[in-house]
């Protein structure tokens, strides 16, 4: 059964890679003016596919028209972006679950107040949040001489601020989703049954409730991942983070863009597969990725 499942997911990955190749092939139609030629498009597809089979010989060309090997220059911005992205995603999930648990323990009127407050926060642009955090750090530094953590835009790699800032809105979104799913789950009869057996609130939430909402939560997690990806692209460009977006825009060749997008999609795909296998094993429910 697992071999069939893994084969099905591998086939989906191949389709996604093929879709990325088709999309990046369009870029070649605009390299030297606009040339919507089907013949040129097919040549682009063949060239990109050929490059992917010989990734060790991929090259990058800078604005001065100097050409260099793509590796190992690619790995540093790639791992930097992936570190920020995956850390922000995991932080969002953990904080979303923790906030939902703590909010559920509060009296009903406080819970309603928190949910209404998150409505306002969720509609706040993520760029605004990043600017506020950066200026807060600078203000505290000027007033007290204490640098709470490195700010974005310096020569050194900065992790704390990008990860925290990038995770704020996904955390709020996940918190609201988890809270609604938890409330719905608590209304089911089995919860009253296990309560009557003396199981603690902590055990009910983290053992039974979380396991039963994991299927729905994964379906929502995919939209959260897309949101994080789009936010990461904006953050890297506007705030001078030398990550994968900066690399792609600096070396905007078709094969470089295609390889970068595939490599960025790969860990996301593997993460979703891992979560799916865990949910399959724990709940017996089949999740479609």
Model pLDDT for residues 69-91, shown as the tens digit of each residue: 888 889 999 999 999 999 999 99
d(CA 130, CA 119): 19
Dump pLDDT digits (tens) for 26-35.
Answer: 887 877 777 7
Measured between alpha carbons, how far is 282 from 210 in angstroms, rounded to an integer?
11
DSSP, collapsed to helix, strand or coil, labels residue 117 as helix
- Digit-coded pLDDT (tens) for 173-199: 889 889 888 888 888 888 888 888 888
Q: What's the average model confidence in pLDDT over 129-141?
A: 71
Confidence label for 21 from pLDDT (cuts 50, 70 and 90)? very high
The contacts found for 193-202 with CB under 8 angstroms, 24 or more apart, are 201/105
Residue 29 confidence (pLDDT): 80
Residue 287 has pLDDT above 70, yes or no: no
DSSP for 221-258, written as a single string: HHHHHHHHHHHHHHHHHHTT--SHHHHHHHS--HHHHH
State pTM to two decimals. 0.82
């Amino acid at each position: 059964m697992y071999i069939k499942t893994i084969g099905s997911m591998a086939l989906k990955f191949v389709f996604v890679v093929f879709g990325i190749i088709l999309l990046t092939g369009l870029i070649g139609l605009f390299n030297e003016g606009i040339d919507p030629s089907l013949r040129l498009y097919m040549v682009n597809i063949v060239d990109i596919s050929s490059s992917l089979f010989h990734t060790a010989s991929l090259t990058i060309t800078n604005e001065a028209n100097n050409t260099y090997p793509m590796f190992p220059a690619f790995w540093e911005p790639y791992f930097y972006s992936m570190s920020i992205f995956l850390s922000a995603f995991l932080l969002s999930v953990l904080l979303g679950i923790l906030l939902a648990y703590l909010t559920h323990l509060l009296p009903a009127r406080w819970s309603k107040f928190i949910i209404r407050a998150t409505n306002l926060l969720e509609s706040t642009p993520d760029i605004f949040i990043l600017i506020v955090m950066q200026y807060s750090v600078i203000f505290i530094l000027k007033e007290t001489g204490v640098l709470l953590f490195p700010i974005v835009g310096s020569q050194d790699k900065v992790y704390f601020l990008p990860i925290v800032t990038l995770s704020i809105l996904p955390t709020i979104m996940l918190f609201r989703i988890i809270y609604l799913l938890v409330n719905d789950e608590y209304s089911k009869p089995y919860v009253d049954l296990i309560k009557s057996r003396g199981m603690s609130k902590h055990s009910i939430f983290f053992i039974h409730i979380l396991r039963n909402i994991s299927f729905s939560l994964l379906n929502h997690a995919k939209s959260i991942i897309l949101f994080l990806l789009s936010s990461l692209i904006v953050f890297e460009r506007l705030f001078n983070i030398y990550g994968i977006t900066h690399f792609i825009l600096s070396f905007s060749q078709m094969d470089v863009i295609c390889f970068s997008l595939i490599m960025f999609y790969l860990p996301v795909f593997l993460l979703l597969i891992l979560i799916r296998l865990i949910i399959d094993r724990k709940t017996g429910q089949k999740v479609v990725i």
